[in-house]
Structure formats: structure tokens, C-alpha cells
Structure 1
Amino acid sequence: MAEIRGFGLLRHLRSTPTEHVIHQRGDRVVHSGTGCSFWFRPLTAALSEVPVDDRELPVLFHGRTGDFQKVAVQATVTYRFADPALVAGRVDFAIDSRTGRWRAAPLDQVAHLLTETAQQHAADLLVTIPMADALGRGIAAIRDRLRTGLVGDERLRDTGVVVLDVRVVSVRPDPDIEKALQTPARELIQEEADRATYERRAHAVERERTISENELQSKIELAAREENLVAQHGANERRRAAEEAAAARIAAEAEAERAGLAARAAAERTGLAATAEADRIRLTGSAEADAEAARLAVLAELDHWTQLMLALREVAEQLPSIGTLHVTPDLLTTALARLTAATGDGAER
């Protein structure tokens, strides 16, 4: 947009490099070009400002396919004003001499022209193809058709508008149709997702089964090892019991042998002691017998009174202690008679 400043009855305009300014006084062009800077009188000046930079115009329009289905085409048209003087003569780009703003809406007019022209070319193509082709391969076909139609359009060329490029963003049907068309693909995707889920679950189940089998196999191996351990423990206990029994038997046999040896030794000692005792008794008896025989032999050689005195002494030795002794004639007579008889018997022997 040009910058305009007022200085009394005169004003000064300064434009940018992307704006083409045309200054007319009557039917004569006083100034024309980009980046202009000049003085003018507002009462006699007619000013036009045409942008010369590349412009992007979003285009949205509807069409009908060959199978009578509505589709919406969204595109972007890149254009520029190649001949500003021609454009200024065909479209109202006049600006206010005080503010520098356009008096009308020239860009909207140009956008309307481009949109209708693009829609016409796209509609001519869409009626020849079904909706499936329009949605599938229609973007490239519509883009080529719009580019060719807009670049070669005579009205645009006569207006001084040059189309540089056309980009088709999307071709979409009505929401209901689009949803119906998306359903098979969604179902297919859902089936693939379900299949992946089922395969994942099956894989998980298979892994769980493998883990369970491994755990069961481990339990079986542990049970077998435990059985072997119990059997080995029992064998060890039996062997230990057998060894202890054998050791006890050997100890008992050794004890019995020691007891037998001790008994035999004791018997031998007892026999020896008995033999010695018998020999002692026999020797003692023999000695006593010999002593008695010798005493008797000695007594036999003594006279009668000596033997009587010895007999009295022996009787006295055999008698108990006597405190008082009363001797009567009868008792003395009887004792003497017995002593005499005993002495006589000894003499006879």
C-alpha cells in the first residue's frame, strides 16, 4: 500500500517495490511504475495501485461427478498481474488520494473471476469421470485441467492476469458418502487389527502354554530328583542301620569273647584257688593227723598219772569260768569214775 502525506494543497506519494502505481491527469499518464515517489495535486490526480507480487488464492468449489455425486475440490491458485496498466484499465484499482486505500475491492473481483473460471474447468472434467476415479486419480487430473484451462483462458489474458501454478489439495465427497466409502477400508483395517490382536493373543497363549509345560516339566524333574533323593536317603539309612547292626554284632561278639575269656580266666583262677585250697586243707589235715598221731604216740609212752593230769587240764580248758564250785561226794565219785574209765580206755588204745 502506498504511503501518502499531505502538505497544504500538495501531497506526496511513495510506493513499495511490489506495488505498481499509475498517476493520471486527465487522459495522460504522468507517473507509472513500482517504487514511485512523486508530488501530486489531489484535485486533478487519478491514482491506481496494482500489486505485482505473486499472489496465493485458496479456491473451494463443488462439482458433480459422472455418477451424479457431489464432490468438493480444494485448490490453491498462484497468479500475478503481468500487465499492471492493462489490469488497471479492466479492474478498478483506484486508491484514495488521502489514505492510499483502494476505493473498491479489486482483489475480491479478481478472486471471484479466478474461482469461477477454475470451477468451470473442473466441472467440465468431473462430469466425465465417476466418483471413485475422481477420489482416486482425480487430484492429478483436476490439477492438470485447471492449470491448462487457467493459463490459456482468454479473459484472464485480456485482463492482464497470469496464472503461475495450480495445486489441488483435496477432492472430497459429502460426509455421508465419504463415511460409507471409508467403511470397507475401516472394516479391513479393523479386521487386520483384530487379526493382529488374535495372533498376539494366540502367541501369548502359546507362550503361556510353553511356560506352563516348562513349569510342569520342572516339577516332574524336581519330583524325580526328590524321589531319587528319598530313595538314596533310605538306602543310606539302611546302610547305616546295617553298618550299626554289624558294628553292634561285632561289639557283642567281642564282648562275649571278652566275657568268655574272663570267665575262662576266672574259672582257671577259681580252679587253681580250689586246687590250692584243697592242697592246703589236705596238707593241713595231714599235718594235724601227723601231729595228733605224734601226740598220741607221746601219750602212749606216758604213765597213768601223767595221762590223768593232762586229761584234767584239757577238761579244765574246756570248762567255762566257774565262780563257786561245790563238790559233793557223789559228784566227785561219779567224776572220778568217769575219768578212770576214760583213762582206762585211752590206755587200752
Structure 2
Amino acid sequence: MADITRRFGYRHLRAAPTSYVRHLERGKLRREGAGLAFWFRPLAATISEVPADDRELTLLFHARTADFQDLTVQATVTYRITEPAVAATRVDFGIDLTTGRWRAEPLDQIGGLLTETAQQHALELIARTTLAAALADGITLLRQRIGEGLGGDERLAETGLAVIAVRITALRPEAELERALRTPAREQVQQEADRATYERRAVAVERERAIAENELANQIELARREEELIQQQGANARRQAEQAAADDGIRAEAEAVRRTRLAAAEAEAATILATAKAESDRALGEARAAGEAAWLAAHQEAGPEVLKALALIRLAEHLPKIDSVTLTPDVLTGLLTRLGGGQSS
């Protein structure tokens, strides 16, 4: 939209760089171009402002396929007015000289033209295509068909329009039909998910089986090692018993030898002692015999008084032991009497 200001009965217009302005005064062309700025008299001027930038147009329409199914097409068309002077003569781009706004709706007119033309080419293509084929390859075919149809349309070329790009943003059937079409895919996806779940479970079961087999193998190995340990312990115990028996035999043999040697030594000592004792007894007997002989010889040489005295001594030696003697007056008197009588005689 152009900016218009008023000064002293004249008006000044300033257009954007992307706007093509065409100024007519009393039916004659005074100036035209993009991004102009000039003074003009409003009573004698007619000004058109044509946009020269790229424009986006959204299309939404329904079509019926070859199998009588309703299909919604949503597309976007990018276009540009390449010949603004021609477009200004074919479409009303005149602006209000007070506000700078368009007096009509030129862009809606161009949009309607593009929409009807694109819809016509799309309907022709979809009407010969089944729903399944349209959903599978329809986007590419529609984009090509609409692009070619709009690019080769004579009316658009005469209006100064050029289509830059066509994009198909959506191609959808009715909601119920779309849900029905999604069901096989969902079922297939669900089957794939179930298959993945079963495979995961199978892998888990296989892993659990491998773990169980590994644990069983470990238990078997532990049992085998335990058996080997028990056998080794038995062999060690048997060796220890054999070694202990051998040690006991050696000790018993040593003890027997020691006892034999001790008995022999004791016998030898006893023999030596007996021999010594016999020699001692013999020597003692000989000494006693010699003493007796000497004693008898002495007695033979002694007189009767000496023999009596010796007899009394011998007798005294063989008398019982007397611890104490009690002398009563009677005994003492008789003894004294005897002693006195003996002395007197």
C-alpha cells in the first residue's frame, strides 16, 4: 500500500520498492515504475499499484477418484506478476488517492483465477486415478500436472502472471475411509511389534536357558571338583594314616630295640651285680670264715673265765630289749642280800 500525503491542494505518493506504480493523467501515461515517489493532482490522476514480489496462494478443494472416493487436496502456489503494466490493464489495481488502498480486490481475483485453473487440472487427473494410486503417487503427479497446467495457461500469460512453484501439502480421504485405510497398516505394525515382542521373549528365554545351562554346568563342575577334593582328601588321609602307621611301626620298633637294649643292659648289669655280689659274699664269707677261725683260735687259746665272759656277752646280745626296769623294795632287798652274801662267802 502506497503512502499518500496532502500539501496545498497537491498530493504526494511514495510506493514500496516491491510495488509497480502506473500514473495516468487525463487518460495519458505520465510515469510508471517500481518504488516511485511523485506529486500529483488528484482530480486529474489515475494511479494503479501492482505488487511485484512473490506471493503465496493456499488452495483447498475436494476431488473424486475413479473409484468414487472423496479426496481433499491442499496445495500452495507461489506466483509473481512478471508484467505489471499488462496486469494493470487486465485487473483493476487502481488505488484510492486519499488512503492509498485498492478500490477493488485484485489479489482475490488473481487468487480465484489460479485456484480454478489449478483445481481444473487436479480434478482431471484425480478423476482417472483410483484412491490407492492417488494416495501412493498422487502428490508427485498432482504437483507436476498443476505446475504444467498453470505454466501453460494462456489466460495467466496474458494477465502477466508466472507460476514459480507448486507444492502439495496434503492429500487426504474422508475421515472414516482414512481410519479404514490405516487399519491394515496399523495391524501390520502391530504384527511387527508382536513379532518383535515374541522374538525378544524368545531371545530372553534362550538367554535364560543359556544362563540355566551355564549354572548347571557350573554346579556339575563344582560337584566334580568337590568329588576330586574328597578323593584327594581321602588319599591324603590314607597317606597320613599310612605315614602315621609307618611312624608308629618305626617308633614301636625303636621302642622294642630300646627295650631290648635296656633289658640286655639291665640283665648285663644284674649279671655284673650278681657277680659282684657273689664275689662280695664270697669275700665276706671268706672274711667271716677267717674271722670265725681266728675267733675260734682265740677261744681255744683263752681260759675258762674268758669263755664264760664271752658267753655272757653273747647272751646279753640276744636278750630282748628292756626299756625300763622297776625295782621294788622287795627285789632290791633280796638283791642286796644276795650281793652281801656273795661277798661274805
Amino acid at match of 1:219: Q
Map of 1:311 onto structure 2: 307
SS at match of 1:47: strand
CA deviations on 1:35-83 (whole Å, 9 max, x unpaired) are 2222111222221101122222121211111111111112222222233
**Is the CA contact 2:299–2:307 (under 8 Å) kept in the aligned structure 1?**
no
Distance in 1 between residues matched to 2:5 and 2:291, nearest whole Å: 191
- TM-score in terms of structure 2 length: 0.86
Counterpart of 2:228 in structure 1 is: 228
User: Which residue pairs with 2:319 in the alignment?
Assistant: none
- In 1, the alpha carbon distance for the partners of 2:162 and 2:290 equals 184
Deviations 1:237-287 (A, max 9, x none): 221122122212211221222122112211221122122222222232233
AA partner of residue 155 (structure 1):
R
Distance 1:166 1:278 in 2: 154
Hey, what does 1:160 align to over in structure 2? 160
User: What residue in structure 2 maps to residue 23 of structure 1?
Assistant: 23
Q: How does 1:87-236 map to 2 (within 5 A)?
A: 87-236=87-236
CA distance in 1 between partners of 2:148 and 2:289 (Å): 178
Greater shift in the superposed pair: 82-91 or 100-109: 82-91
Q: Partner amino acid for 1:41?
A: R
CA distance in 2, matches of 1:139, 1:289: 163
Within-5 A mapping of 1:256-267: 256-267=256-267
- AA partner of residue 130 (structure 1): T
Aligned-pair CA distance for 1:288: 2.5
Deviations 1:209-260 (A, max 9, x none): 2122122212211221122112212221221122122212211221222122
SS in 2 for 1:137: helix
Q: Deviations over 1:3-41 (max 9, x none)?
A: 222212111112233211111223222222222222111
SS in 1 for 2:167: strand
The 1:326–1:311 alpha-carbon spacing in structure 2 relative to 1, beyond 3 Å, is: farther
Query: Cα distance 1:125–1:288, how it changes in 2: closer, same or farther (>3 A)?
Result: closer
Q: CA deviation at 1:176?
A: 1.8
SS of 2:303's equivalent in the other structure is helix
SS in structure 2 at match of 1:213: helix
Taking the aligned partners of 2:245 and 2:337, their CA distance within structure 1 comes to: 86
Q: Where do 4+ consecutive residues of structure 1 move more than 6 Å?
A: 321-324, 326-329
Once the two structures are superposed, what CA deviation does each residue of 1:311-344 show, in whole Å capped at 9, x if it has no partner?
2111231354999867979xx9xxxxxxxxxxxx
Task: Tell me the residue number matched to 1:54.
Answer: 54
CA change 1:79–1:298 in 2 (3 A) is closer
Alpha-carbon separation, structure 2, partners of 1:82 and 1:284: 173
Q: Following the alignment from structure 2 to structure 1, what is the Cα–Cα distance between the partners of residues 337 and 285?
A: 40
The number of equivalent residue pairs is 326
TM-score w.r.t. the length of structure 1 is 0.85
Superposition CA RMSD, Å: 2.5
Q: How many Å separate the matches in 2 of 1:71 and 1:224?
A: 76
**What residue number does 2:77 align with?**
77
Shift of 1:299: 4.3
Gaps of 5+ in 2: 317-321
| Alignment check: 8 A CA contact 2:56 2:77 kept | yes
Alpha-carbon spacing, 1:308–1:132, altered in 2? closer, same or farther (3 Å): same
Aligned partners of 2:92 and 2:106 also within 8 Å: yes
